[in-house]
Every structure is written in structure tokens, then in C-alpha cells.
């Protein structure tokens, strides 16, 4: 991959309606590419505005759906030859550390699509149902210590 391409990516995306820019829990600027990057400042008005734009009910992943999404993401990464070193499917978001020479936005899209399709096939999401928020965070990991820190965050620092 060389010096012009990162070693891996930390991908993060949320379920629909569960997390907004401006939320006090924090969110990332989707245009940020490097670590460290500035997060979006807490802003109740912005979060409220984004909440007002919702067209469907918020979605949370339960104990039945989380393992299905996990398996789907692992399968799509394996099928496409992407090295998935860490994955954590939470109730309202997903973190993955993936090494690939593919544009991270495409990887994120493929992982989200695989999760959606798997839940539709399992009868846990209606066909055409909304599961994820638009896009997500694609943080570029340039150094080995960035990859190690991202792995540790995904595997050990989720509560």
C-alpha cells in the first residue's frame, strides 16, 4: 500500500436515529481523514435539528440482530479480501478496523449493506427498512501505533 495509502481504517457508523452530530457523546467530522482529528462540538440545537429531520423511527440492534450483523460484516470482508482485525457491533453503532487498498467509503458501504441484507433475510428488518445513518466515520490509520490504538479501542474500550 506504500506511503500514500494508510495501513488500515477505523470505520464507525451508527444505527438510524440513535446518534446525531452535536450529541454530547461526541461525533466526528465525516470529512476528517487523519488521527487525531477534531470532533464536532456538542450542540443541542444541531442535534435537535437533525432529530427533527428523521422520517423513520430510531433503530437499535438487539441480542438477536447484533450477531447477525457481526457475521455479515465478517463474511463480506473475507469474501472481498479485506483484512478485518477488529469488529464490535454495539446496540447503536459499529466499529471496525479494516486493512485494504479499497476506498474506505466503499468498505463502509459494503459492510452496512451486508448487515442490512442479513437482517432482512433473517426477518428482523422489513424490506426497504432503514437501519443505518448516512455514511459514517472513516479514520485513516497511517502508523502501526494508530492501528494498535484503534484495535484496542474497538476490542477493549467499548462499554
pLDDT of 16 reads 85
**How does the average pLDDT of the chain come out, rounded?**
86
CATH of 8-19+58-156 given 3.30.70.1290, 3.40.50.12280, 3.40.50.720, 3.20.20.70? 3.30.70.1290
pLDDT of 33 reads 47
- Beta 27-28 vs 39-40: how paired, if at all? antiparallel
Q: Single out the residue of 94, 100, 138 nearest to residue 116, CA to CA.
A: 94
pTM: 0.82
Does residue 99 register a pLDDT over 90?
Answer: yes
pLDDT of 34 reads 47
Does residue 50 register a pLDDT over 70?
Answer: no
Give 25 or 146, the one with higher predicted confidence.
Answer: 146
Distance CA 126, CA 66 (A): 16
Amino acid at each position: 500500500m506504500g506511503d500514500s495509502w494508510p495501513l488500515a481504517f477505523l470505520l464507525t457508523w451508527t444505527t438510524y436515529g440513535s446518534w446525531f452530530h452535536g450529541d454530547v457523546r461526541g461525533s466526528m467530522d465525516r470529512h476528517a481523514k487523519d488521527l487525531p482529528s477534531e470532533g464536532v462540538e456538542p450542540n443541542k440545537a444541531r442535534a435537535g435539528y437533525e432529530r427533527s429531520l428523521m422520517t423513520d423511527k430510531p433503530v437499535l440492534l438487539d441480542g438477536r440482530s447484533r450477531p447477525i450483523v457481526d457475521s455479515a460484516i465478517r463474511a463480506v470482508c473475507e469474501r472481498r479480501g479485506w483484512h478485518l482485525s477488529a469488529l464490535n457491533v454495539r446496540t447503536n453503532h459499529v466499529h471496525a478496523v479494516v486493512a485494504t487498498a479499497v476506498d474506505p467509503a466503499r468498505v463502509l458501504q459494503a459492510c452496512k449493506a451486508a448487515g442490512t441484507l442479513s437482517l432482512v433475510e433473517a426477518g428482523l428488518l422489513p424490506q426497504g427498512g432503514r437501519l443505518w445513518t448516512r455514511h459514517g466515520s472513516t479514520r485513516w490509520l497511517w502508523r502501526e501505533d494508530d492501528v494498535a490504538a484503534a484495535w484496542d479501542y474497538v476490542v477493549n474500550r467499548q462499554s
